Amino acid sequence: MTYTEVPGAKTVAEFFAGLRAKRGKVRGADGSFAGLTADVLSITKALFQERPATLALAPLAALDSVITAGHWMNEICSAAGGRRIFRKKRKRRECCGT
């Protein structure tokens, strides 16, 4: 699990002020496709155990890894797009002195 931390922030206002001041730190460990897929399958298994009527949907569980792969790729593309936007804004600030 990853999360953002602002050292010294004790309130929500201090946390966001720290983010604006670029004092935020990313902490935790990135997951993996295999780990995410295992978690989704574990949740699916628990659903089948808790609600046996859902076993009729069991054949769809085979799609768990396909859906997870799609979600994983979407996250990667979203992060790449965010990095491009951030870099453009940074270049514009450096160029314009703002």
- From the list 3, 10, 45, the residue with the least C-alpha distance to 24 is 3
**What are the tens digits of pLDDT across the range 15-41?**
999 999 999 998 887 778 888 888 888
**CA–CA dist 16, 69 (Å, integer):** 33
pLDDT number for residue 90: 66
Q: Residue 26: what pLDDT?
A: 87
- Residue 22 has, within 13 A of its CA and on its CB side, a CA count of 2
According to the model, what pLDDT value does residue 75 have?
Answer: 80
36: nearest Cα among 3, 69, 60, 79: 69
Q: What is the pTM of this model?
A: 0.50
Question: By C-alpha distance, which of 75, 56, 72 is closest to 64?
Answer: 72
Q: What is the pLDDT of residue 32?
A: 80
pLDDT of 77 reads: 82
pLDDT in tens, 52-97: 999 999 998 888 889 888 888 888 888 777 777 767 776 666 666 5
